[in-house]
Structure 1
Amino acid sequence: MFGFGGFMSSRVNAGVSRAVAFGLEQFRTFATKGKTKKSVSKRFKLMANNRLKRAHAGTGHNTGHRGAKRNNRLAKSTDVKQGKIDKTIRKMLQI
């Protein structure tokens, strides 16, 4: 019915090119590029000294009852401390 005499005539190899069937095709393997987590890239920036810069939390709203000194301190940016969190963020940023 399908003719089992030849290598290319079997139903398993139907539709496969001759080069692939005989192993003559060259394969190129590339490492997949990771995608940057966009939410992380908007919250953290890499500084010149290779540290990560972040903003303080709690400055969005309801800041009227706080003192000016506290609000000014929270408005300034700070860096992420070295450790497991720093490594996790760097993996998400692909750096």
Structure 2
Amino acid sequence: MATNGTQDTHIRELDKKISALSDALAHLGQGTSLKELLRIIRFPGYTTPAEFAFNVAILDTMLVQANALEKLGQDLVAGAKLVVGKQ
């Protein structure tokens, strides 16, 4: 078991990391760069078949990653609740 000082250090470090990730996800959730992409794709001649393929692949992968982050966050919270429930 960690000493009280070590536990406090761990809590501070986790607090910083959780807060930084939360801020990054909140910023990501604004989707401002993708709103700009929606504007750009409407210009005449934007997508060749190759550009379309690249865009679809990248957007599909970004969506998979966003969904994975959401699931991972839910699993992390669920696991943390199990740890707290032991005490």
TM-score, with length taken from structure 2: 0.26
TM-score by length of 1: 0.25
Looking at both structures, which has the greater relative contact order when contacts are Cα pairs under 8 Å and sequence separation is at least 6?
A: 1
Higher strand share: 1
Please state which structure has a larger fraction of its residues in helix. Answer: 2
Structure with higher Rg: it is 1
